[in-house]
Amino acid sequence: MKKRFVLWTAVLFPIYAFLVYLYLFHMAGTGVPAAYQGTAADPSTFMTAKELELSQEFSRYKDFLFFIGIPLEALIYLSVLVFGLSPIFKRFGEGVSRFSIIKIPIYVLLLSAFTWILTFPIDYAERKLSVTYGISTQSFSSWMQDLLLSFWIGTLIMIILITVLYSLMKRFTKRWWLYAWVLLIPFFVFMMYIQPVVIDPLYNDFSRLNDPVLEEKILNLADEADIPAERVYQVNMSEETNAMNAYVNGIGSNLRIVLWDTTLNNLKDKEVLFIMAHEIGHYVMDHLYLNLAAVILSSLIGLYIAYRVLHVVIRKWGAGWGVKHVADISSLPALFIILSLLSFASSPAELAISRSAEKAADQYAIEMTEDPQAAVGSFQKLTVNGLSDVNPPALVKFFRYGHPTMMDRISMLEEYKEK
């Protein structure tokens, strides 16, 4: 099994990478459709020739790294199973303690660290790419600090979830997926509640918007939309990136309206107001709660399918991997592979729904602000600032884009201007 795994990986992965390269760099079209040429959606009307060239290069390299990374994590988990590392991780945890509350966290930590190390080259390549093309301004030490912080936060959360999950597996062999889903619901709500005030501040400094006039205008928009906000926050992102962003997140008393300082530095007030109206539109149309409901529903479906498939996988290959049964913590890499495949399979539908929600928020924002010129200007500056591809290849849009393309968004605004 080991030799076959190495052979097939050594043959198929380079072929896959080469096909991705051919598609992105030689087969996918990069031109602007005739219907958009010369319009505000045509990047040649608001980008220099050099910016156009850089945006094409940056987008293609970034997309290449994304598609290369898709099968990598699954291959790592499969290698842990095939080469017998999973039982070794388990025995190490058992050597420390025979209690599940100790040995399972040790296993999760070892698996997470092993995966983190092997995926680090992709993370570093993405960082290097962003620095080379002037998107990231973050120092290597600061970037490493954030990366390690993400690792420990993610691992801690994973330890809690996996410890509970495998305890349920042992106690309820046929209904663990259902009980796990029931417990996930309050967890999702809790994470959504604490994200703005506990997790986000670990990475960046948040402060009250230092422009009281602009803050008042934004709060007036929020008040018009019945958003219970008393202040607008700005976050210091200019030390890390040149990209721009704004968002409304959190629920209840922890709801926050947030602007990156890069957005404030690069956009005019009217353009900022359009961006904020877009984010307010998500709140007004309950996209935050609909997204939460979608996550809850998809987790139910995913856990049930994983329950069915995991039993089949362990029954067929478990003995060769040294995995005794489904509730054995050594089966975790197999569970992760199944969940990764389910996530990949469902991502096009999820992204399509997201694009629809983003389009609705754009429409809400333009109707709220009634300033299409500022709206177009904000999207054009976002494109230039982030070296975005206004017309990405079809597969990139299908598997990556949770927003409509900039070409679609700007052309929608142009239609509004005509009306």
User: For the whole model, what pTM was predicted?
Assistant: 0.90
Q: Which residues contact 262 (CB under 8 A, 6 or more apart)?
A: 237, 238, 241, 242, 243, 244, 245, 385
Name the residue type at position 172.
F
pLDDT of residue 256: 83
User: Which residue, among 358, 357, 349, 355, has the nearest Cα to 302 in the 3D structure?
Assistant: 349
Q: Which residues contact 259 (CB under 8 A, 6 or more apart)?
A: 209, 232, 233, 234, 235, 246, 272, 276
The dihedral over CA atoms of 381, 145, 64, 259, expressed in degrees to the nearest 10, equals -20
Min mean pLDDT across 227-231, 331-335, 392-396 is at 227-231
Q: Which parts of 322-402 fold into alpha helices (H)?
A: 332-369, 372-386, 394-400
User: Which residue, among 243, 246, 277, 240, has the nearest Cα to 259 in the 3D structure?
Assistant: 246
Q: What average pLDDT does this structure show over 365-392?
A: 91
98 vs 403 pLDDT, higher one: 403
Beta-bridged to residue 235, according to DSSP, are 206, 260
**For residues 411 and 304, what is the distance between their CA atoms, to the nearest angstrom?**
42
Q: Which residue has the tokens 């109206």?
A: 277
Query: Is 126 tagged catalytic?
Result: no
Q: Which residue has the tokens 């997140």?
A: 249
Confidence of residue 166 (pLDDT cuts 50, 70, 90): very high
CB 386 within 8 A of CB 395: no
pLDDT in tens, 61-100: 999 999 999 999 999 999 999 999 999 999 999 888 877 7
pLDDT in tens, 335-359: 999 999 999 999 999 999 999 999 9
Q: What average pLDDT does this structure show over 213-241?
A: 88
Q: Which range scores top for mean pLDDT: 40-54, 84-98, 120-134?
A: 120-134
The three-point CA angle 315-320-325 to 5° equals 40
Catalytic residue among 240, 271, 279, 358: 279
